[in-house]
């Protein structure tokens, strides 16, 4: 059973903010939201995670709704190198069976 | 530098010829896991290990074996590979902490079974 749902694909203009949505309506209280991305066929790369507060790091911002049923990853100034597949997963410290869905294919266009 | 190292990066083999894909990490992580990635199916977990001598099945374990004799190594073994195991394979690790830590992935092994 998929714990998250994401759009299959989206385009973004270079230099603009990219807002990537994720629905996780069945998230439980101790589950974190994680975002990863995969460029070409490289190993997925961790971006950011959060529990209920909004988070920001050097790569992105994570906005989690108050009811925690959805979140948005924001790439503030998308570059061509941000073209990748972005995965949203929910997990707690006891989740050892972790699989990723198909993610969102983000294409940044010049 | 924190690293998850997989070898080989590319492997072409024939049906039935046993092979091993190695995974090694230098972060002293307890948790290690193998994934396979196929078009349109995302990353599916094959096996995982929570510590030395502790392994368990993921979502798609059929046709694979693993072992965890040392903390740093987690080899994936295909005793009798078949063409449906042609895929891109990733090893991943993370600490098992009181705090939540993210997964660290290797660079992948592209396996072709003819």
Give A74's contacts (C-beta < 8 A, 6+ positions apart): A17, A18, A19, A20, A60, A61, A62, A63
Give B105's contacts (C-beta < 8 A, 6+ positions apart): A43, A44, A45, B4, B90, B91, B92
Closest CA to A63 of A86, A35, A36: A35
pLDDT score of B68 more than 70: yes
**Contact flag A99-B58 (C-beta cutoff 8 Å):** yes
Interface test with B, best of A4, A27, A39, A43 (most B CBs within 10 A): A43
pLDDT score of A1 more than 70: no
pLDDT digits (tens, 9 = 90+) for B6-56: 999 999 999 999 999 999 999 999 999 999 999 888 899 999 998 999 999
A102 touches chain B (CB under 8 A): yes
**Contact flag B88-A41 (C-beta cutoff 8 Å):** yes
A95 touches chain B (CB under 8 A): no
**Contact flag A36-B58 (C-beta cutoff 8 Å):** no
Residue B97: predicted pLDDT: 61
Confidence of residue A97 (pLDDT cuts 50, 70, 90): confident
Structure tokens that stand for B75 in this block:
């080899």
pLDDT digits (tens, 9 = 90+) for A15-68: 999 999 999 999 988 889 999 999 988 999 999 999 998 999 999 999 999 999
């Amino acid at each position: 059973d998929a714990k998250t749902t994401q759009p299959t694909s989206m385009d973004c203009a270079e230099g603009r903010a990219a807002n990537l949505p994720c629905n996780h309506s069945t998230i439980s209280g101790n589950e974190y939201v994680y975002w990863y991305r995969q460029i070409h066929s490289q190993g997925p790369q961790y971006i950011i995670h959060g529990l209920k507060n909004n988070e920001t790091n050097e790569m992105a911002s994570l906005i989690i709704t108050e009811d925690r049923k959805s979140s948005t990853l924001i790439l503030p100034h998308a570059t061509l190198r941000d073209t990748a597949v972005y995965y949203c997963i929910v997990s707690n410290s006891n989740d050892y069976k972790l699989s990723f869905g198909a993610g969102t294919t983000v294409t940044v266009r010049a | 530098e924190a690293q998850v190292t997989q070898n080989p990066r590319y492997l072409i083999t024939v049906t039935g010829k046993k092979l091993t894909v190695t995974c090694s990490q230098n972060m002293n992580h307890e948790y290690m896991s193998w994934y396979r990635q196929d078009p349109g199916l995302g990353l599916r977990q094959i096996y995982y290990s929570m510590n030395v001598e502790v392994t368990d099945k993921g979502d798609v374990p059929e046709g694979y074996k693993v072992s965890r004799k040392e903390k740093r190594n987690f080899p994936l073994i295909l005793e009798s590979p078949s063409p449906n195991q042609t895929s891109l394979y990733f090893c991943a690790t993370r600490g098992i902490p009181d705090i939540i830590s993210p997964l660290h992935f290797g660079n992948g092994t592209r396996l072709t079974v003819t």
